[in-house]
Amino acid sequence: MHIFKTIQPLKKFLTKAVARNKTVGLVPTMGTLHEGHLALVNKSLEDNDISVCSIYVNPTQFNNPQDLEKYPRNLASDLAMLEKTQCQVVFCPSDEEMYPEGKENSLTINMGYLNTVLEGKYRPGHFSGVGVVLSKLFHIVNPDRVYFGQKDLQQVAVVQNLIHNLFFDLQLIRVPTVRNESGLALSSRNNRLSESDKITATALYRALMMIKEELQKKPAQVVAAQQKGLRFLENEGNIKVEYLEIIDTEKFGIVSDTRNHQEIAICIAAYVGEVRLIDNVLL
């Protein structure tokens, strides 16, 4: 496994590989890897000659400084996990390498409508930081394919927009959410949950599945299904729901009737104790 901390040697390595007609897949992550991340890496390994996994806790996408400070970091164990997957390349740069202009002087990107709903609304500046760091990574790696988890569904829509509007010549692959045996979506943030909160957090998935069942029976009764899910979560204690919305995955418009849309998702963000978790299921 080749580990790069700086841009130029990585670019040199990849230019040579591309000259030999090798295809390149990129899996951007913030580290503290788990099976969810590895599903992305494994898909990239299947599809491409060379896979690059980036590990970088991007400061410009954190709207809350405490969240950035508390974000778990485990580079040594991340590298050991990646080694086992046969991933060929890891890119783990410093802030100075990624933001030589200074984090405070970073460009910003206005994601338009996507900034006004769900994650965009509740995490001001988040998608700007995501867009900037991914634009940098796409230019550095120049991948054929990039891999993102369905778990961060709105991020998928943001990246599709970025690719389209900035003419990036690459394909986005969405990989299904990996869950534990109780249904809890794997997340690096789960490391910050107490053992009892880990059990409480499984209620999020149960609420999403409950709403899904309701909507399958009554596709036009969106508000009733949403209310049923919220009532269920109210009784769980130690869960504070930030949003629970039913949207179409293409435009991220909030829908009042689930019929006549290509793909619908039920999305939630909630605090379990002090930890903010997000999850979604497709209808």
Interacting residues toward ligand AMP by CB under 6 A? 29-30, 36-37, 39-40, 148-149, 151-152, 175, 177-178, 185-188
Q: Which is nearer to ligand AMP, 175 or 247 (CB)?
A: 175
Find the shortest distance in angstroms from Cβ 102 to ligand AMP. Answer: 23
- Residues in Cβ contact with 93 at an 8 Å cutoff, skipping those fewer than 6 apart: 4, 5, 6, 7, 54, 56
Residue closer to ligand AMP (CB basis): 174 or 212? 174
Catalytic residue among 2, 37, 126, 261: 37
Q: Write down the least CB distance from residue 28 to ligand AMP, Å.
A: 6
Token pair listed for 12: 């040199």
Using a 10 angstrom Cβ sphere, with 0-12 exposed, 13-18 middle and 19 or more buried, the burial of residue 34 is middle
139 is catalytic: no
Measured from the CB of residue 45, what is the shortest distance to ligand AMP in angstroms? 15
Using an 8 Å Cβ cutoff, are 170 and 144 in contact? yes
Beta carbon nearer to ligand AMP, 53 or 211: 53
Name the residue nearer to ligand AMP (CB basis): 148 or 252: 148
CA 155, CA 66: separation in Å to the nearest integer? 22
First-to-last C-alpha distance (Å) of the chain: 39
Q: Which of 2, 255, 259 is nearest to 118 (CA)?
A: 255
Q: How far is the CB of 30 from ligand AMP (least distance, A)?
A: 4
Torsions phi, psi of 153, nearest 5? -65, -40
Annotated active-site positions, please? 37
